[in-house]
Structure 1
Amino acid sequence: MALSRGRFCCVLLSLFTGLASGLVITSTGSTSIEMASGQTVKLDCQFTLAAEDSGPLDIEWSLTTSDNQEKVVIIYSGDRPYEDYYAPLKGRVHFNSADPKNGDASINVIGLKPSDSGPYNCKVKKAPGIGSRKMTLTVMVKPSKPRCYTDGPTQEGKDVALKCVSSEGTNPMKYSWEKTSDSKLLPSSATLDPVGGTLIVKNASASASGSYHCTASNRIGSDDCTLYLNVTPPPNTAGIIAGSIIAVLLFLIILAIILYCCCRARHKKKYEKEICNEIREDVPPPKSRVSTARSFTVGSQRSSLGSMSPSNLHEYALKPQYDKIPSSEEYERPPSQLPLPPPSAVRMGGPNLSRMGGIAVMTPAQNRDGSIV
């Protein structure tokens, strides 16, 4: 009995609703749509009119943006469309039907962008009927081509990290790795991070070398890249250390040789400078005997000539020993080798020289080597 009453109330409510408004939205598709960037989407909004819906037809599409503001996208009023209400969608949104009065208020959005995502609301009004339909559009970006590379050393015994990164793509994104050479099986010590895209091969061996394939994907697409891994033997650490030690020793030896040569050259230069400034005691004084002897002899002769009378001057001129000044070689001869005066030479003593008007001159004594005593 209670069930019958409930059904009766529903029927009456339906009748009153139909009398109040005959316009009905008939679209039954999904209200959540996911599309890839760059594609075209159709937002469906079909409706039917009742006989009593006699007013003018008005259609309005609006978008609730990320800051919770409702923006009018496109309208149909006065039997004509108006499509340039929302600048970000200008030129990219159109009614699906050339004449929406036929019951098709659907719109098409072309060249989708991530900023086009959000809830859309379709309102159809033909007085007294009113109807609406909401749906959510999510514009997703397909993963861009990922980049595959190794991070860190690729030596045996080390943990080798293989990276796979896609710069663009709507989350959630998933990464997967597979080996495409040899056994086509990942190393048993390999661990994969499907969100970060990192494959770590712990304690890598030479058998881990080969080609690897990475795929980045989300709900609307995927892309991939390939990497060749070459696991190399560890370097000869002992050889490197020995070579480094030898190089250091050679450098020190060369440096020591250079310093030794510089010090030796500097010491030699200093020694030569001291020798030049030192007075040698064993070196005899410069020879001045010739000039002394010559000056003495010339002076003696001038004195003798000045004391002679004209009568004796002729006799003096005939004496050969007074004709010239002795040379340095003759002067330096020992007494035993000196030439004897000619026998005809007349020795003039002090008394005779006085009578002749001359002046006696004392001749300095000389030693054997010619030095004046």
Structure 2
Amino acid sequence: MPALLATGLLAASPPPLTAMGASGRWMLWTWCVCLAAREDAAVSVTMGESSLEVVRGDVVVLPCSFLTATGPSRLNVIWTLAPSSSPESPVQVIVYDHGQVIEDPSLAGRVGFTGLPARADIMLNDTRVSDAGVYRCMVNNPPEPADPGIGELLLSVLEPPSLPVCQWDGDIELGGSVQLSCSVAEGVPTPDVRWERVNPGDEPVPVDVEGEASGSVQMVNVSSQTAGLYRCSASNVLGTENCYVNLAVYRTPDGPSGVLPSVLLTLTMILVLLALVVLVLWLHRTGPDGRWSDRKGEDEECYNEIRYTAYVMKRSFV
């Protein structure tokens, strides 16, 4: 009897009407109703698990068992996937129809049935993050007129964190502001990102964490105590990866003016010195009355005066 029930066939015959009373007729009516209901029932599908987790690159078996009222001579099984990245766009994974298996070209060699025709389980190997999502197992067995049985299973593909990338940006002079950033490209679940000082000093480090998800830390009013080696850790349930930033803080040159004012002061002194030299030369070339002196002009003037005097004296003796 159990074997017959598994295939949906009942071999028992109803008792003779002459041997039945009122209770017997009630049992006969119940037996007929159950038999009719079984003939019209849909294919029953049961998923062994409601959700599964697998590490990227490993093999996973997605269980799907079914119960049908007739033999599986025309069995039809369809597996679909609604990816986590785009659940509104389901794709066909693999199909079994009248003894033929059709795989999605993108999954060729990575997916296959494991128990047909008794079970509709599939095996997925070399799992990837893109394989995560909701899988649906649909089983139909003509000539059963009912709708196909459907079961759902959520698959999560875990991935360790990738190597984070550490960067810094800002002013590393005393009193400046520096931002440390840390980005992680891969990891499922999303890695937890944290900054810490490898060799912290006695004094607290002035940091302002903007948020663990962004992996960004703002450091204000940096000083010599702020300098040191900083580590960014990206971790999830599968492991931890680190990157480092060696932060050096510099002091500006002493003095109120700095480099540029010092250059301007030097140029000013040179200009003043040149002005003094020009002034001395000008005073040296000018006479007592402050006019520019010309030696040649003075000699000619004296010569003319002498000739004029001699000419006057000569006329006076004649």
Aligned residue for 2:154?
Answer: 136
SS at match of 2:117: helix
Aligned residue for 2:192?
Answer: 174
Cα 1:15–1:215 change in 2 (3 A) is: farther
Q: Is the 8 A contact 1:57 1:126 kept in 2?
A: yes
Aligned residue for 1:44?
Answer: 63
Aligned residue for 1:119?
Answer: 134
Q: Matches of 2:143 and 2:204 in 1, distance apart?
A: 71
Q: Is the 8 A contact 2:162 2:241 kept in 1?
A: yes
Q: Matches of 1:206 and 1:245 in 2, distance apart?
A: 26
SS at match of 1:195: coil
Q: Matches of 1:109 and 1:203 in 2, distance apart?
A: 53
SS at match of 1:101: coil
Aligned residue for 2:252?
Answer: 235
Q: Is the 8 A contact 1:59 1:105 kept in 2?
A: no
Whichever structure has more strand as a proportion of its residues is 2
Q: Matches of 2:266 and 2:32 in 1, distance apart?
A: 109
Q: Matches of 1:45 and 1:186 in 2, distance apart?
A: 61
Whichever structure has more helix as a proportion of its residues is 1
Cα 1:92–1:275 change in 2 (3 A) is: farther
Cα 1:180–1:248 change in 2 (3 A) is: closer
**Aligned residue identity for 1:241:** S
Aligned residue for 1:53?
Answer: 71
Q: Matches of 2:253 and 2:77 in 1, distance apart?
A: 79
**Aligned residue identity for 1:248:** L
Q: Matches of 2:238 and 2:152 in 1, distance apart?
A: 23
Aligned residue for 2:45?
Answer: 25
Q: Is the 8 A contact 1:145 1:223 kept in 2?
A: yes
Q: How does 1:44-193 map to 2 (within 5 A)?
A: 44-49=63-68, 52-64=70-82, 66=86, 68-84=88-104, 87=105, 89-97=106-114, 100-114=116-130, 116-128=131-143, 130-139=148-157, 142-155=160-173, 157-169=175-187, 172-181=190-199, 187=204, 189-192=206-209, 193=211
Further displaced range: 211-220 or 251-260: 251-260
Identity %: 24
**Aligned residue identity for 1:153:** D
Alpha-carbon offset, residue 235 of structure 1: 3.0
**Aligned residue identity for 1:42:** V
Q: Which one scores higher on RCO, CA 8 angstroms, separation ≥ 6?
A: 2
Kindly provide the CA deviation profile for residues 301-342 of structure 1, in whole angstroms up to 9, marking residues without a partner as x: xxxxxxxxxxxxxxxxxxxxxxxxxxxxxxxxxxxxxxxxxx
Question: What is the RMSD computed on CA atoms of the aligned residues?
Answer: 4.9
TM (norm. structure 2) is 0.60
- Show structure 2 runs of 5+ residues with no match: 1-30, 286-291, 305-318
**Aligned residue identity for 1:45:** C
Cα 1:218–1:281 change in 2 (3 A) is: same
TM (norm. structure 1) is 0.53
Structure with higher Rg: it is 1
Q: How does 1:189-338 map to 2 (within 5 A)?
A: 189-192=206-209, 193-218=211-236, 222-232=240-250, 234-237=251-254, 239=255, 241=257, 244-255=260-271
Alpha-carbon offset, residue 39 of structure 1: 4.9
- Show structure 1 runs of 5+ residues with no match: 1-10, 285-373
Aligned residue for 2:11?
Answer: none
**Aligned residue identity for 1:127:** P
**Aligned residue identity for 2:75:** L
